[in-house]
A and B are shown apart, each in its own frame.
Chain A
Amino acid sequence: MTKPAISVSKLGKSYRLGMEGKQVNTFQDLLVGMAKAPFNRLKRLGEHHVEADDAFWALKDVSFEVRPGEVVGIIGRNGAGKSTLLKILSRITEPTLGEALLHGRVSSLLEVGTGFHQELTGRENIFLNGSILGMSRAEIKSKFDEIVAFSEIEEFMDTPVKRYSSGMYVRLAFAVAAHLEPEILIVDEVLAVGDLEFQKKCIGKMGEVATEGRTVLIVSHNMSAIQSLCPRSILLRQGKIVDDGKTDTVIKEYLKFLEKGAANPFENNPERKCSGEVKLTGVQMLDEAYQPLAHPISGKPLILCFDYENTVKASRMDVVMTIFNHLGVAVANLNTRVVGVALPLKERGRFSCKIPRLPLPFGDYRIAIALQLNGTNVDLMPNVLAFGVTVSKFYKTGLSPDIQYSSALMDHEWFF
C-alpha cells in the first residue's frame, strides 16, 4: 500500500465569537464595564482557550485520506468549513485540535494573484508572485516565456498592473499559478474568475495537472467543474464530513440537502441574506389555472408566485431570479429590469412570474431569487425553491433530451 499524500485525523478549528452575553443593568455597570473593557480585551486577545463558552467550531473531527494522484473535490454550503479546511492544509492558520500530514511539495491557491503589487509591472509581478507561490528564481526565469504566452498579454508586460483590466489581471495571475509544479495542489474557487474562454483554458490546464499524477484538492461551488475534474468528493456540513465518495453520489446528497433547506427557506435559512426592508414571506408554484403545483411540467405554463412584506414604504422594486440545474449551471435568468418592468409595491402583497412554456429537460432544479431596491439586494435567497421535472410536453413525443447534452429546450423544426 502506498503512503497517503494527505492524511487528516480528527482535525478541528474553533474561533471565538466577539460577544459574550453580558448584561449591562445600571449606568454604574456600564461605566465599570467601559473601564474594564481594555483589560478584558487584553486578556481575550492573549491565549486562546479551547473551552471558552463563546467558541464556535468551524471544523470538528474531520478525518480523511487522499492517495497520491487522487483529485478530490470539497463541497458544501457557505460556512460549512471548506475554506477553513483548506486554510489549515495550506498552513495559513493552525488547527485547534488534531493533525494533518502532507507528503510532497505543496502549493496552495486560495486566490489568484496573491501578493501582486499594483505599482509593479506585469514582468515584476510574475517574479514576485512566483516567488511567493514558492518557485525559485531560476525556475521562474526558465518558465517566464511560457507564462507570458499563456497569459496572452505579452504587450502589457511593462505596464503597471494597476492599469490592467480585471480580465488581464486574472489572466496574468492564473498564468503564473498554472506553471507551478507541486506534488499536492490545493485550490479554492479560483475557477470562478475570468472570462469563459479563459476559464475553459484554466480548467483544461488543471485537468492536465490532474492527469499528470498530482494530488489535487479543489473547493468550488461550480458543480460541473467538480464533476468533470474530481472522481471523488467530500461533502462538509457545519464543520463535519457528512459524505465522502464518488462525486455523483456526493453531489446528489448535497442537492438533496439544498432541497431540504428549501422546504422552508423563509425561516432559519443560513443562505439567506436579508436586510429586512422588503422581504419574501412565501412562495408557490401554480399551473395555468392558478392551481398549486408540485411537479412542473416541461412545455406547460409555470407561474411562480411570491408573497412579500414591505416595511420601508418602498414604491418599486426589481426582482432577479436564476434557475440552476443539478450541476449548479445557471440555465436562465428572469429579470424585471431586462424585460423592462418595475414591480409596484404595497405594504404587503404578492407578485408572480409566468413562464408560458417551461423549457427544461428532465432533471432537478433550484431557483435563486433576489429582491432589489435601487440596485441593492434587500433579500437574497439562493434556495427559495427546488423542484424536479419528470414529465415533458415540450416536444409532441413527450421525450426529453439527455441532460448531459442540454440545459434548456429549444423549439426547432426539421426540413427535408
Chain B
Amino acid sequence: MDDKSILIRPQKGWINIDWMELYHYRELLFFLAWRDILVRYKQTVLGVAWAVLQPVFMMVVFTVIFGRLAKIDSEGFPYAVFVYAGLLPWTFFSTAVSQSGLSLVSQQHLLTKIYFPRLFVPTASVGAGLVDLSISFAVYGVVLASYGVAPSAGMVWLPLLVLLTILAALGFGYTLAALTVSYRDFRFVVPFMMQAMMYISPVVYPVKLVPPKYRWLLALNPMAGIIDGYRSAILGKPWNLTTLAISTVVAIVLFVFGLFYFRKTERRFADIA
C-alpha cells in the first residue's frame, strides 16, 4: 500500500491522532482561522476597534464595581492594571471556548459535504481568538504606561503561559464541540458554564483571597493558575507555584482528553449533525 492509498472501514473505540494527515492539511487550518478573523468584524462600523474597546470597557466596569465600590484587594497595584492582567487570558479563553464549542454545529454543512480533519474546526476558532489576544496585549501596554507601572522581568514566561491558555481552551473546546453535536443541550450549558467559571477564576479578585487550604481546589480550575501566572509574569507579584503546577497538569490532562474524546466521537458527526 503506497502512501496515497486510503482504506475506509468501520473503526472502533479510541482512535489515534493522525499527525501526518494534520500536517498535510495544515494550510486549511490557517484558512479556516483566517476566515473566522475576516468574518468577525465584517459589516461592523467600528471594525477591529471592537477588539480594543471590549477589554477596555470590561476593565472600566470592573474597576468601578469591584475596585471602587466593593474595594477588592488588588495586591498593591492599581485595580485597573490588576484586573486587566486577569481579563487578558480570561476573555481569550471564554471567547475561544464559546466559539469552538459551537463551531461544529454552526458549520454542520461542511461536516456533511466534505472530508477534512474535523479537529481543525474548533482549533481554527481558538486560533482566530489569538488576533484579539495580541490586540489586547498591545492595549495593556498603553494601560501600563498610563499608570506608570513597569512590566517585570517575569515577562519572559509569558509565551509559555499563553501556550498553556491555548491548551486549556482547546481542551474545553474539543470536548464541548464534540458534545454539542450529539447533545444540543450544551448550547445552553456553555454560556452559563463560562459565566460560572469566571466567578471561580481569580479574574476580579486575587488568589490570596481564598484561604490557603482551599487553594488546591481553586487550582483544579486550570484558568485559576493561569490567570495568577499572568499577574506574576507581567506585574512581578510573587508566583503561587503550587497553584500554577496543579492548573498546568489539569490543563494538559484536559487537552489530551479533549483531543481523544473528539477523535472517538468524530466518525459519527456526519450522521447526527
Binding site for B on A (CB under 8 A): 15, 45, 48, 87-106, 108, 110-111, 114-115, 117, 119-120, 124, 127-128, 131-134, 136-137, 160, 183
Interface residues on chain B, number (Cβ under 8 Å): 35
On whether the beta carbons of A103 and B4 are closer than 8 Å, the reply is: yes
Between B6, B25, B111, B114, the greatest number of chain A beta carbons within 10 A of the residue's beta carbon is seen for B114
Could you give 29 example pairs across A and B, Cβ below 8 Å?
A45-B183, A48-B268, A88-B8, A91-B8, A92-B113, A92-B114, A93-B267, A94-B267, A95-B8, A95-B10, A99-B9, A100-B8, A101-B5, A101-B6, A101-B8, A108-B115, A111-B113, A114-B109, A115-B110, A115-B114, A128-B32, A128-B35, A131-B27, A131-B31, A132-B28, A132-B114, A134-B25, A136-B27, A183-B4
Q: CB within 8 A of A92: which of B9, B32, B270? A: B270
A39–B110 Cα distance when bound, in Å, is 30
User: With a CB–CB cut-off of 8 A, which chain B residues contact A134?
Assistant: 25, 116
- Chain B residues near A94 (CB-CB < 8 A): 8, 10-11, 267-268
Chain B interface mostly:
mixed
What residues make up the interface of B, taking CB atoms closer than 8 Å to A?
2, 4-11, 25, 27-28, 31-32, 34-35, 38-39, 42-43, 109-116, 182-183, 267-268, 270-272
A105 to B3, CA, bound (A): 10
CB distance from A409 to the nearest CB of B (A): 42
**CB-contact partner of A110 in B28, B114, B182, B268, under 8 A:** B114
Given A98, A114, A119, which contacts B9 in the complex, CB threshold below 8 Å? Answer: A98
**Known contacts A87-B270, A99-B8; A119 and B42 CB within 8 A of each other:** yes
- Assembly CA distance A132 to B6 (angstroms): 18
A287 to B4, CA, bound (A): 62
Q: Which residue of A lies closest to B25 (CB)?
A: A134
Tell whether A92 pairs with B115 under 8 Å between CB atoms, given A106-B6, A131-B31. yes
A106 to B6, CA, bound (A): 9
Evaluate contact between B9 and A120: CB separation under 8 angstroms.
no
Cβ–Cβ < 8 Å partners of B32 in chain A: 128
Distance in angstroms between the alpha carbons of A106 and B268 in the assembled complex:
21
Evaluate contact between B27 and A103: CB separation under 8 angstroms.
no
When distances are taken between beta carbons in the complex, the residues of chain B under 8 Å from A137 are 27, 31
Partner of B114, one of A96, A103, A108: A108
Task: Choose from B6, B114, B267 the contact partner of A102 (Cβ within 8 Å).
Answer: B6
Q: A45-B182, A97-B10 are in contact. List 4 more A-B contacts (CB 8 A).
A: A48-B268, A104-B4, A114-B113, A183-B4
Which residues does chain A contribute within 8 Å of B113, judged by CB atoms? 92, 110-111, 114
With A114-B110, A115-B110, A131-B31 as given contacts, are A91 and B115 in contact (CB-CB < 8 Å)? yes
Instruction: Name the distance in Å between B156's Cβ and chain A's nearest Cβ.
Output: 34
Q: Which residues of A contact B34 (CB under 8 A)?
A: 128
Distance, CA A133 to CA B5, complexed state (A):
18
B2: chain A residues within 8 A (beta carbon): 103
Name the contact of A120 in the complex, choosing from B25, B39, B111, B182 (C-beta under 8 A).
B39
Does A128 contact B114, Cβ atoms closer than 8 Å?
no
Looking at the assembled complex, report how far the CB atom of A267 sits from the nearest CB atom of chain B, in whole angstroms: 32
- Which listed residue, A98, A114, A117, touches B35 by the CB 8 Å rule? A117
- Given the complex, which residues of B lie within 8 Å of A48, measured CB to CB? 268
Minimum C-beta distance from B199 to chain A (A): 28
* A197-B182 Cα distance, complex, nearest whole Å: 43
* Contacting residues, chain A, for B38 (C-beta < 8 A): 119-120, 124
A215 to chain B, nearest CB (A): 13
